[in-house]
Structure 1
Amino acid sequence: MPQKQDVAVNLSIRSPDNTMMTFTKSIISKPNDRITAAFKIIPEQIGDWELAVTVKSALASYHLNKTLLVKPGGVTQFYSQPILIDLNKSNTFNTVIQLPMDPADRVTGSEKVIVDVVGDILGVSLHNLDKLIRLPTGGGEPNMAIVASSVAVLKYLRNTNKTSHQKEKNLASNIQLGYQQALTYLRNDNSNLFSMRGPTDTNSSTWLTAYFTRVFAETSQRLPKSSTKVIEKAIQFLIDQQNDDGSFRESGKIIDSYVESGDSKQVFLTAFTVLSFTEYIKTGKAGIEKLNASLQKAVAYLESQVDSAKSDSYASAITAHALAQANSSKSLDALNLLKDLTVTDASTVHWKTPASVEDETENAGYLYATHPIDVEATAYALLAHLANGNWNTSLKIASWLISKQNAEGGFFSTADTVVAIEALAKFAQFITDAPAIQIDLMDGIQKRDVTISPDTAMAVRSLEFAQKPTDIAIHARGSGMAVAYVSWTCNVQ
């Protein structure tokens, strides 16, 4: 204002525990100028602090409310334990989840325990689709992982009649944006082929081209017409990379160290390409005759390698899956050999790979408890068992995969996340009974209830516990399936 004025500046603060504090300063404002009233505060509680400022003079007044969020210091540690609640064989379910002990250097007040409950196996993954892919960031392969996850979830929602206009719109947007992003990895030599580094790369990648082909063939109806030529060129390139014995060779640089240097890398790459071919054939597009001949040679190669790949569960798993998709007569043989490599306990089945065993030996106590490549191999094995109608084993495999998810429904890397989501989506399609479940969560102090009905199955209910308990007991009754994700976070100095 044009006049000099005496101004009272009042700052009121409400702390997270509802304690009120008020501070006042008197200042003189100069005509048509500004002046600052500074209040130095040090919040000592974690949470929302409500700030209310009132400025008043003889001529005017003004009021402003703001919230100051105070977060704990230090580095956040995460723990997540998903539990598959299966009420198909019994109408009751009981388990107790032991939570980790607080670290000695924890930041006081930073502990948080949340239980997310959902009546659909893919509910949390769908809710957090944009957060599933964490590492690595950038590049052609992570982009395709997001697209492939979106394709798998969209197919699941459609096949189970659980889709909605908004969900379909969001997933379709992911797919279309992913396709546009994929085009930036085409080389600049008029070959229109994909490489890990994009336009300036010297060689196209067989593996990445097969990846693009399979994913975009699955969703070709959602892509522009120009995509047909891109996919056709990719198919021809893949055929040109086939060796005389039916296997495929990698012509470029790739991220996956297993595919690059694993003992069974040729078996894996051939199985991976077979999956792309079988998916493309379903589209009924041009060039199928030539492709069929190449596919038959590749299948014959995989059939000849079934016995030699039995020492490598990763190669065995994707081979069994690929042979099942190609309707090979050796599909069941491959599956039986894969069963000999299982790691089982009372309620779950999974596979360990040579690479993960070696890493665990060299880095005992350092690496994460489950190697990403074990998740990937187990996911391929689940797809192979589902194709052969082995429901009881499939249920045990799915239980293990779900137990390795993080709180957002993803896994460790792009590779294992996309294969595991695809496998769980396929598994979930076989669950025909709608859930009708009552779940009780008890931490020794209080009991929290969640009711799941067919109408609310896709909704994620989050329950936060005010104080960190030592354990959480889960009791469920009813029918159908649900998943409970017990998550704990704590900051350390």
Structure 2
Amino acid sequence: MNYNVAVTLHSADGGCRIRVTLDGPSFTRAQEVYLEPMSTKTLSFGTPKLSSGDYHLTAEGLSGVIFKETSKLSFSEDRHTLPARIDISIQIHDGQKNQIEELTKVRSTREVFSGEHLLSSHPDLVLDGTVNVVPGAEYSEISVGGDIQAPTLTNLEDLVRLPSGRGKQNMINFVPNILVLRYLEATNLRDPAIEQKAKGFLATGYQNELNYKHSDGSYSTCGPTKHCSHSSTWLTAYVIRSFHMAKRYTHIDTSVLREGLSFLASKQRGNGKFRVNGVSYSEMKNPLAFTSYVLLTFLENQEYLPEYQHVINRGIQYVASQVDGCNDQFSLAVAALALAQAKSPKAGQVLSRLEGMARRKNGLKWWSRNADTIANSDVELTSYVFLAMLEEDFTEESMPVVEWLTGRRNSPGGFGSTQDTVVGLQALTKFALEVFQQPEDMDISQSEEGRRKK
């Protein structure tokens, strides 16, 4: 029988060679694998009959990034507690080989079927018992909830993380804490331990980020040092957007928001455009996408709308003037969201164009810049379109998009990269809040080899 180990390398500045070792009382094996960024490979360990005791799974970076992390696994011949599959995730941010968030994440896979199923369209779930697993280690776990976010609820602690690192890296773990708190609050699901932890992390992340604030209210990855004196317009917009969302759950000084908005307003040109500055990923480097993104910061800080209405009006005029000549799906998606939040009639026209660009298969719908493959960035692209649809009250047309997004989530409830996770969770959370109804009683039946239990 085979014991499978999936090794995933997320954002990194180059490939890594990794050795994975499984050893214990009756078994020791090691394999090496080379991974490019954003790729996954599965190692298969042929196992004999295992003896009871402690086993250790060790992931060791040999080149590209140097690390070593071991997790203990217990196996009992009576209780069969050794998981059937282990996933190792290695995340490297900003290309910093020595700044690794959650160096390795060792996790047992909870599903033996692929994807998440909505009961409205999949009333019967069949778990395939032929999957190769460690003898005696077979188990299944079924989680049922009353809304589309229910599968995430069993993994909320995986989304609640302590922000740390430099200006951009600190924000990566800041926002998911907000989304968890918003969801728990709006759906009336109380979890005091998680809420307290998330709020504490927000307070810490807020104070950390202020270290990267410049005197003019802007932010940068390195902060106001002689080696890194340039401000980032993109990071400033991201920080102020996030701080505004967080102020419901932790103290955010209003002067911090005002100073950030004032800096952003000073960067707008006479025609309404914001010059691309400080953004590290290519999708946002289009002037239409960038200007639309910065406008979202002003639109979502509604208490400051009267003060910055002129900035919004000029920006929306620029966006509306550019969309007809643009064929880039990502730029159109962010523009559609900005136009929808500004209540511009142009939003519906852009969504109609995007509808014609959508990909469809097996009852699912999503958007992709590549007709032949699905990339992590497609989650962010699809999520922006979906957020714009929700602003325009297109909820009746949402389910094919929702099912595609939920099918792309990983076991902790996030997505393949940090930016996709932030926007993807924001979209699914907004959808869940808009359609949420208090779940009614459910009758659930389980059958095993013809024996039915209720």
Asked if TM exceeds 0.5, the reply is yes
RMSD over aligned CA atoms reads: 3.5
Structure 1, 384-393 or 190-199: larger mean CA deviation? 190-199
Shift of 1:46: 4.7
**What letter is aligned with 1:94?**
D
Whether 2:110 is the aligned partner of 1:83: answer no
Partner of 1:423: 427
Give yes or no for the alignment of 1:229 onto 2:262: no
1:94 maps to what in 2? Answer: 124
Give the alignment of 1:82-231 within 5 angstroms.
Answer: 82-87=115-120, 93-96=123-126, 114-119=140-145, 120-132=147-159, 138-187=165-214, 190-200=215-225, 201-224=228-251, 227-231=253-257
Please name the residue that 1:54 is paired with. none
Q: How many Å separate the matches in 1 of 2:126 and 2:269?
A: 54
> SS at the partner of 2:366?
strand
For residues 419 and 198 of structure 2, what CA distance do their matches in structure 1 show? 19
Pairing 1:437–2:408 present = no
Query: Offset at 1:110?
Result: 10
Query: Cα offset for 1:69?
Result: 3.3
Q: TM-score, normalised by structure 2?
A: 0.69
Deviations 1:149-173 (A, max 9, x none): 2222322332232234444323322
Shift of 1:447: 6.3
Cα deviation, residue 48, structure 1: 5.0
Alignment of 1:439-458 (within 5 A): 439-440=444-445, 445=449
- Check whether the contact 1:48–1:68 (CA below 8 A) recurs between aligned residues: no
- How many angstroms does 1:401 deviate by? 0.4
Q: Does 1:255 align with 2:305?
A: no
CA contact (8 A) 2:25 2:53 kept: no
CA separation of 1:240/1:128 partners in 2, compared to 1, >3 Å: closer, same or farther?
Answer: same
Q: Secondary structure at the match of 2:143?
A: strand
Counterpart of 2:360 (choices 328, 344, 364) is 344
| Distance in 2 of aligned mates of 1:191 and 1:231 | 12
Where 1:344 maps in the other structure, the secondary structure is strand
Aligned with 1:409: secondary structure? Answer: coil
Equivalents in 2 of 1:143, 1:385: separation in Å?
A: 30
Residue of structure 1 equivalent to 2:39: none
The C-alpha deviation readout for 1:139-188, integer Å capped at 9, x for no partner, is 4334323322222232233223223444432332232222122223224x
Instruction: Specify the alignment match of 1:245 in structure 2.
Output: 271
Looking at structure 1, the residues matched to 85 and 245 of structure 2 have their Cα atoms a distance apart, in angstroms, of 45
Q: Deviations over 1:44-88 (max 9, x none)?
A: 5657539xxxxxxxxxxxxxxxx983679998588762223233x
Which residue identity is paired with 1:220?
Answer: K
Q: Which has the higher strand share?
A: 1
Aligned counterpart, 1:294: 311
Distance change (3 Å), C-alpha of 1:131 and 1:233: same
**1:391 maps to 2:386:** no
Amino acid across the alignment from 1:300: Q
| Residue-by-residue CA offset, 1:428-470 (whole Å, 9 max, x unaligned) | 121325143344456x7476868xxxxxxxxxxxxxxxxxxxx
CA displacement at 1:130 relative to structure 2: 4.5
Structure 1 residue 271, shift from structure 2 partner: 1.3
Change (3 A) 1:235 1:46: farther
Corresponding residue for residue 74 of structure 2? 69
- Percent identity between matched residues is 29
Q: Which amino acid aligns with 1:353?
A: R
Offset at residue 209 of structure 1 (A): 0.6
Count of equivalent residues: 360
Equivalent residue, structure 1, for 2:404: 400
Q: Give me the whole-angstrom Cα distance separating, in 2, the residues matched to 1:275 and 1:197.
A: 24
Please give the TM-score of this superposition, normalised by the length of structure 1. 0.64
Question: What are structure 2's unaligned runs of at least 5 residues?
Answer: 1-23, 28-48, 55-71, 76-81, 89-107
Q: 1:271 to 1:183 in 2, by over 3 A?
A: same
Q: Is the 8 A contact 1:195 1:203 kept in 2?
A: yes
The answer as to whether partners of 1:348 and 1:397 remain within 8 angstroms in 2 is: yes
Letter in 1 for 2:123: F
Contact 2:379/2:420 (<8 A) preserved: yes
CA distance in 1, matches of 2:375, 2:73: 40
Per the alignment, residue 43 of structure 1 pairs with 26
Q: Aligned equivalents of 1:272 and 1:446: distance in 2?
A: 54
CA displacement, residues 224-266 of structure 1 (integer Å, 9 cap, x when unaligned)? 36x22222111111111112221111333x3323224xxxx11
Q: 1:448 to 1:413 in 2, by over 3 A?
A: farther
Q: Give secondary structure in 1 for the equivalent of 2:117.
A: strand
**Amino acid across the alignment from 2:359:** V
Aligned partner letter, 2:254? T
Aligned to 1:307: 324
8 Å CA contact 1:341, 1:351 repeated in 2: yes
Q: Distance in 1 between matches of 2:262 and 2:324?
A: 30
More contact order relative to length (CA 8 Å, sep ≥ 6): 1
State the AA in 2 paired with 1:194. Y
Aligned to 1:180, what secondary structure does the other structure show?
helix
DSSP 3-state at the match of 2:118 = strand
Q: In 1, are the aligned partners of 2:151 and 2:413 still within 8 Å (CA)?
A: yes
CA distance in 2, matches of 1:381, 1:303: 16
Secondary structure of 1:349's counterpart equals: strand
Give ranges in structure 1 of 5+ residues lacking alignment.
1-40, 51-66, 361-369, 451-493
Distance 1:194 1:110, change over 3 A: farther
Tell me, yes or no, if the aligned pair for 2:148 and 2:432 is still in contact at 8 Å: yes
